[in-house]
């Protein structure tokens, strides 16, 4: 029997691409200092709940067939769970982070050592402030780069030189969306979702030109860090509160998987913050969890 299928725009079968992620459990997670408006030192943090929520995120990736490696956290570095900031790993280059705030600076070495030990070196040490995948998002052959609060424009040029990729600078203007990955989600090699008000007028114009079909998120989606999402090209893992965004993604043929990271939101991070993508094979080309 033949069906004349009616498909909503853009919902042709979306094909997931297997990913390799590095994650760090929130074993020492706490809100001890405030370096973004989400952080209120003294707020009660349920570390066991944070660990369970983090585990659910890792399990979700594994269920989708992705590989997850785990880096053991260092005591005294409460923000280390936000692995996205630890480095930037493209097909050609591994670039360590250089944090804007001293409270996080020691995380860079911990991530760099792991990457080096697993055959992803040489690890380039940037001269400029560079908060890894928090501010550098790979979309196909392009890197979108945030600036305004952490990573500097000079770091964008440094990353362009080291990766050989086109780097597009985007200025962030709202302190609540201090990293690019809090205001923009990469859905596949050509598609992004973003919250326009987080960007300067120039950056908004750049995004509108580059991605005329982008998913435009609402203020409410952004406010629950709904854009801090991870997509494999078909499945999008994101905050459960981002309901309007989820509906738009579903209408476009993506499969939405909500994962609640409410405890980690107290540090100003969500799904993507906890996830560093490794785009180069590990030494020996091993695959499957260690
Ligand atoms: N407390 C951390 C900071 O302010 C949160 C980092 C979130 N990470 C991210 N990729 N947006 O640096």
The closest-lying atom of ligand 1 relative to the alpha carbon of residue 267 is: 1
Nearest Cα to Cα of residue 155 among 179, 127, 123, 183 = 127
Mean pLDDT by 10 residues, the chain (290 residues): 44 88 98 98 97 98 98 98 98 97 98 97 97 98 98 98 98 98 98 98 98 98 98 98 98 98 98 97 58
Give nearest CA residue, ligand 1 atom 9: 273
Interface predicted TM-score of the whole assembly (ipTM), two decimals: 0.97
Q: What pLDDT score was predicted for residue 4? A: 40
Q: Is 59 left (phi over 0), alpha (psi -120 to 50) or beta?
A: alpha
Instruction: Report the helix count and the strand count for the chain, using DSSP H and E.
Output: 7, 15
Ligand 1 neighbours by CB, cut-off 6 Å? 35-36, 39, 79, 82, 84-85, 104, 134, 179, 181-182, 267-269, 273
Q: Which of 20, 179, 235, 274 is catalytic?
A: 179
The whole-angstrom distance between residue 117's C-alpha and the CA centroid of its chain comes to 23
Q: What pLDDT score was predicted for residue 269? A: 98
Instruction: Determine the length of the chain.
Output: 290
């Amino acid at each position: 029997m033949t069906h004349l299928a009616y498909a909503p725009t853009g919902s042709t079968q979306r094909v997931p691409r297997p990913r390799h992620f590095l994650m760090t459990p929130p074993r020492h997670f706490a809100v001890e200092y405030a370096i973004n408006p989400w952080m209120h030192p003294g707020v009660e943090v349920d570390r066991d709940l944070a660990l369970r929520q983090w585990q659910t995120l890792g399990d979700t990736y594994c269920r989708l067939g992705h590989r997850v490696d785990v880096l053991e956290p260092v005591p005294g570095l409460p923000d280390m769970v936000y692995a996205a900031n630890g480095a930037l790993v493209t097909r050609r280059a591994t670039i360590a982070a250089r944090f804007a705030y001293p409270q996080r600076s020691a995380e860079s070495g911990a991530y760099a050592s792991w990457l080096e030990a697993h055959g992803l070196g040489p690890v380039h040490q940037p001269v400029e402030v560079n908060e890894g995948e928090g501010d550098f998002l790979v979309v196909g052959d392009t890197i979108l780069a945030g600036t305004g609060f952490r990573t500097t424009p000079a770091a964008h040029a440094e990353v362009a030189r080291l990766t050989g990729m086109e780097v597009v600078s985007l200025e962030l203007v709202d302190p609540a969306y201090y990293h690019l990955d809090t205001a923009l989600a990469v859905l596949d090699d050509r598609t992004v979702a973003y919250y326009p008000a987080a960007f300067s007028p120039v950056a908004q114009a750049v995004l509108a030109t580059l991605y005329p079909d982008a998913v435009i998120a609402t203020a409410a989606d952004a406010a629950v860090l709904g854009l801090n999402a991870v997509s494999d090209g078909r499945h999008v893992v994101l905050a459960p509160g981002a309901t309007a965004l989820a509906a738009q993604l579903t209408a476009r043929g993506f499969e939405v998987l909500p994962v609640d990271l409410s405890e980690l939101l107290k540090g100003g991070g969500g799904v993507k913050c906890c996830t560093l993508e490794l785009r180069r094979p590990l030494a020996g080309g091993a695959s499957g969890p260690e």
